[in-house]
Amino acid sequence: ISGGEPFLFMPLLRRVIQFAASLGFTSSVTTNGYWARSSDALRLLQELGASGLRAINISTRGFHQEFVQLETVVSAADKGLLAGLKVTINLVSTSTFSRDTIIAELGELVDKVQVVTMPCLPAGRGATGVHNDEFVSEFEMPHGNCREHFKKMAVDISGNVFPCCSP
């Protein structure tokens, strides 16, 4: 479940997870992790896990840091693991915000969290918010989720089905 920030719509998120579970599907949520600052974050994830949530994917990039700092991303990962969820951090990498940045911050969680790294491209916010010298010139294929395009499906609010998470 992704698009915008699903945790902003908690009643709907809970219902979608429960509905998917009633049909025999598992659920994962892509989030920026802002909710990890709440004292109720672990309880919330445990409740969602009991409803059928199996994984959280926490997205971050350099220009997210203004709104959701890296320590909050790490806290979200920690709370996800404590709730028994699979945790992946999806990182959009630049020359100043890389996989090494995340790995250093994860500390003891480093072997428990998958980090999927994708290059920042000069499109969308990257076209206007990232300096040319920050784009990584050499980059290998992403590991993890992006290699799984045709093993997962995404369904938008209109019922359209897409490979992975991208319409």
pLDDT at 151 over 90: no
Quick one: pLDDT at residue 167?
39
**CB-based contacts of 104: which residues, under 8 Å, 6+ apart?**
none
89-142 pLDDT, tens digit per residue, is 998 888 888 899 999 999 999 999 999 888 877 777 777 777 777 777 665 544
pLDDT at 84 over 90: yes
What is the rounded distance in angstroms from the CA atom of residue 73 to the CA atom of residue 20?
Answer: 26
pLDDT at 59 over 50: yes
Place of tokens 């915000």: 97
Query: Phi-psi region for residue 123, left (φ > 0), alpha (ψ -120 to 50) or beta?
Result: beta
Lateral strand order in the sheet of 53-61: 27-31, 53-61, 86-93, 114-119
Quick one: pLDDT at residue 150?
45
Quick one: pLDDT at residue 75?
97
What is the rounded distance in angstroms from the CA atom of residue 152 to the CA atom of residue 128?
Answer: 31
Distances (CA, A) of 159 to 11, 60, 154, 156: 19, 27, 9, 5
Distances (CA, A) of 7 to 37, 41, 119: 13, 11, 26
DSSP at 16: H
